[in-house]
Amino acid sequence: MKSPYNLLKSYGLSPLKRFSQNFLTDERIASKIIDLLRLTPDDIVIEVGPGLGILTERLLDTGARILTIEIDRGLADVLKKRFCDRDNFEIINEDALKVSYKELASRYGIKSAPAGIKQGFKVVSNLPYNISTPIIFKFLGEREIFLTLLLMLQKEVADRIVSDPDTKEYGVVSVLVQLLADVAIEFEVPPSCFYPEPKVYSSIVRFNILQRPRVEVDDIIFFKKVVKASFGQRRKTLLNALKVLKLPALKIKGALELSDIDPQRRGETLTLKEFGVLSNELKKISFQG
Picking from 186, 209, 232, the residue at the C-terminal end of a domain is 209
Integer Cα distance of 89 and 169 in angstroms: 39
For position 117, what pLDDT does the model report? 47
For position 116, what pLDDT does the model report? 46
Q: Evaluate whether residue 215 is within a structural domain.
A: no
Q: What share of the chain is helix, strand, coil (3-state, %, to 5)?
A: 45, 15, 35
**Number of independent structural domains in the chain:** 2
Are 227 and 120 in a shared domain?
no
Are 9 and 146 in a shared domain?
yes
pTM greater than 0.75: yes
Which domain does 277 fall in, by range? 220-288
For position 10, what pLDDT does the model report? 77
Segment 224-267, tens digit of pLDDT: 999 999 999 878 999 999 999 999 999 999 999 999 999 999 99
Segment 83-110, tens digit of pLDDT: 999 999 999 999 999 999 999 999 998 8
Picking from 174, 209, 244, the residue at the C-terminal end of a domain is 209
Segment 103-154, tens digit of pLDDT: 999 999 887 544 444 679 999 999 888 899 999 999 999 999 999 999 999 9
Are 273 and 132 in a shared domain?
no
Are 143 and 20 in a shared domain?
yes
- Tell me what the pLDDT averaged over the chain comes to: 92
For position 184, what pLDDT does the model report? 98
